[in-house]
């Protein structure tokens, strides 16, 4: 019997979910903060923590792993040169989620997600 996975789907297949997490992570690393919905931010938090954890080991294998997960060379460069060196003293908790307001159209809870300095 096939047992369904108990994970957020966000209205798409697995390729859509991966690309959405990739795009949200790229925006977060480039801008330092983004505004998104609460479920997407909670899902993104684990993905970003994993990427920063990989980037803290500054070697070729880590860079290739991050390029495989993100797919954007400029963002990976920024992650390894600017973001990860500031996170060496921490082992987790690299992001902060602050509730912002409800979206006017459908009432979804919006949050501000930012990297902790």
Is 1 inside a domain boundary? no
**Whole-prediction pTM:** 0.87
In a domain, 6, yes or no: no
Select from 1, 46, 9 the least CA-distant residue to 28. Answer: 46
Q: For the chain, what is the domain count? A: 1
| Domain assignment of residue 5, yes or no | no
Q: What is the mean pLDDT of residues 12-27?
A: 91
pLDDT at 4: 77
Whichever domain contains 78, its CATH number is 3.90.1030.10
| Residue 108 counted as domain residue | yes
Residue 80 lies in a domain: yes
CB 10 within 8 A of CB 19: no
Domain that holds residue 71: 15-115
Cβ-based neighbours of 99, under 8 Å, separated by 6 or more: 38, 109, 110, 111
Q: Is residue 3 part of a domain?
A: no
| pLDDT value of residue 8 | 73
Q: Is residue 9 part of a domain?
A: no
Residue 39 has pLDDT above 90, yes or no: yes
DSSP 22: H
Q: 84 in a domain, yes or no?
A: yes
What is the per-residue pLDDT across 67-116, written as a single tens digit (0 to 9) for each? 999 999 999 999 999 999 888 888 888 999 999 999 999 999 999 999 98
Contacts of 19 (CB under 8 A, 6+ apart): none
Strand partners, 95: 115
User: Could you read off the pLDDT of 20-30 as tens digits, one per residue?
Assistant: 999 999 999 99
Residue scoring higher pLDDT (6 or 116): 116
């Amino acid at each position: 019997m096939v047992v369904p996975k108990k994970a957020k789907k966000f209205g798409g297949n697995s390729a859509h979910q991966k690309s959405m997490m990739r795009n949200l992570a790229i925006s977060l690393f480039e801008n330092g903060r983004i505004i998104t919905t609460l479920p997407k931010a909670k899902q993104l938090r684990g993905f970003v923590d994993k990427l920063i954890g990989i980037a803290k080991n500054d070697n070729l294998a880590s860079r290739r792993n991050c390029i495989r997960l993100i797919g954007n060379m400029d963002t990976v460069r920024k992650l390894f040169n600017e973001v990860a060196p500031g996170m060496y003293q921490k082992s987790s908790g690299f992001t902060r989620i602050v509730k912002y307001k409800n979206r006017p159209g459908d009432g979804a809870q919006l949050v501000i997600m930012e990297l902790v300095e």
